[in-house]
Structure 1
Amino acid sequence: MTNAETITKLNNALSTLIKAYEELQEDNSNLKLRINELEDEVLELEGAKEDLEKNVDEFKNHTQEDRSNISTMLGKIESILNRKASDNSNSSSNSTPTASEKEKNEDKKDDVLVLESTPLNNSSSSTPVAPQNVLKKEEEDVSSSNKIDLNRMASLLNGFNH
């Protein structure tokens, strides 16, 4: 082999190496761009994850607050019912009730039983029975002195439905 042939072969090899190096550099720059894009996506996802964690914490707090509010409402309802029961027993023990008072007491007991035994969705009837409907009926049947307590019970029960 002559020097000219050797130089030509080395030239071809060198141009092939340069071409391969340029292709590798282009691939490398494309990969660096892709890495930067993926790092940006990771940062966005981490931000979204933090937001979701904050939302989960807020939902947990709201759930705890709702539980506490429900417990408070139940306690108030129980105290109202206990107070009514004690008022009824005190008034009946202090004086002999008249026939109309006996009827009112029986109506009240029937109304409380209706409230306790009526499910929110009555599957045997075609229309659901809501506590508001029962309370409206009670308000019509019970004297004006008891309306205050029934209104408070209605507002408490409305809190359960919302």
Structure 2
Amino acid sequence: MTNAETISKLNNALQTLIKAYEELQDKNNNLKERVAELEDEVLNLELIKESLEKDVASFKTNTEQDKTNIYSMLGKIEDILNKKDSNLDFVSPISRVEKEEEIVKEEVQNEKEEGAISESENLLSSFENVLNKKDEQKEDNKLDLTRMSSLLNGFHN
């Protein structure tokens, strides 16, 4: 092998190395750009995550406020129903059991007003009981009124 052939082969090998180096540099630059893009995406996702966490906290706060408002409204409704029930005592007296249940309901209501929101199931069931009793009392009232009417008619004859 001559010096010219050796120089030619070395020149070809050097050109191949330079070409491979340039390709690797391009790939490296592309990877650096991709890393920068991914870092930007991570930063944006973290900002979005923080925003969503704030929204979740806000929703939790609003939910608690809504629960408090609902329980307050239910308490007021229960008070109104209890007042109406006490006004009907002259027509149909409430039995001792019903009075005890009303006392228990008032205690539950007082606990609720003092911040015992965990008693929501008891409150809802007592509200349903009050409505059921109201319907039963209406039926009882009708019976008492018809009895009174028949008694009055008996006196007129």
What is the one-letter code of the residue matched to 1:107?
Answer: E
Residues in 1 aligned to 2:103 and 2:132: alpha-carbon distance in whole angstroms: 12
1:137 paired residue among 132, 136, 144: 132
Instruction: Choose between structure 1 and 2 for higher RCO, CA contacts under 8 A separated by at least 6 residues.
Output: 2
Structure 1: gaps spanning 5 or more residues: 92-96, 121-129, 145-162
CA drift at 1:74: 3.4
Q: Which residue of 1 aligns with 2:63?
A: 66
Does residue 23 of structure 2 align to residue 26 of structure 1? yes
What is the one-letter code of the residue matched to 1:102?
Answer: I
Q: Residues 141 and 107 (structure 1 numbering): CA distance in 2 closer, same or farther, change over 3 Å?
A: farther
CA drift at 1:101: 2.8
**Normalized against structure 2, the TM-score is what?**
0.53
Residues in 2 aligned to 1:135 and 1:82: alpha-carbon distance in whole angstroms: 10
CA drift at 1:33: 1.7
For the aligned residue pairs, the C-alpha RMSD in angstroms reads 4.2
- How much identity, in percent, do the aligned residues show? 6
Q: Residues 6 and 56 (structure 1 numbering): CA distance in 2 closer, same or farther, change over 3 Å?
A: same
Q: Which residue of 2 aligns with 1:36?
A: 33
Q: Deviations over 1:79-124 (max 9, x none)?
A: 5656777x59x97xxxxx6582333x7536426748x6x995xxxx
Structure 2: gaps spanning 5 or more residues: 109-118, 140-157
Q: Counterpart of 2:10 in 1: which secondary structure?
A: helix
Does residue 54 of structure 2 align to residue 57 of structure 1? yes
CA drift at 1:136: 5.0
Task: Indicate the structure with greater helix content.
Answer: 2
What is the one-letter code of the residue matched to 1:52?
Answer: K
2:98 paired residue among 107, 110, 113: 107
The alignment covers a number of residue pairs equal to: 124
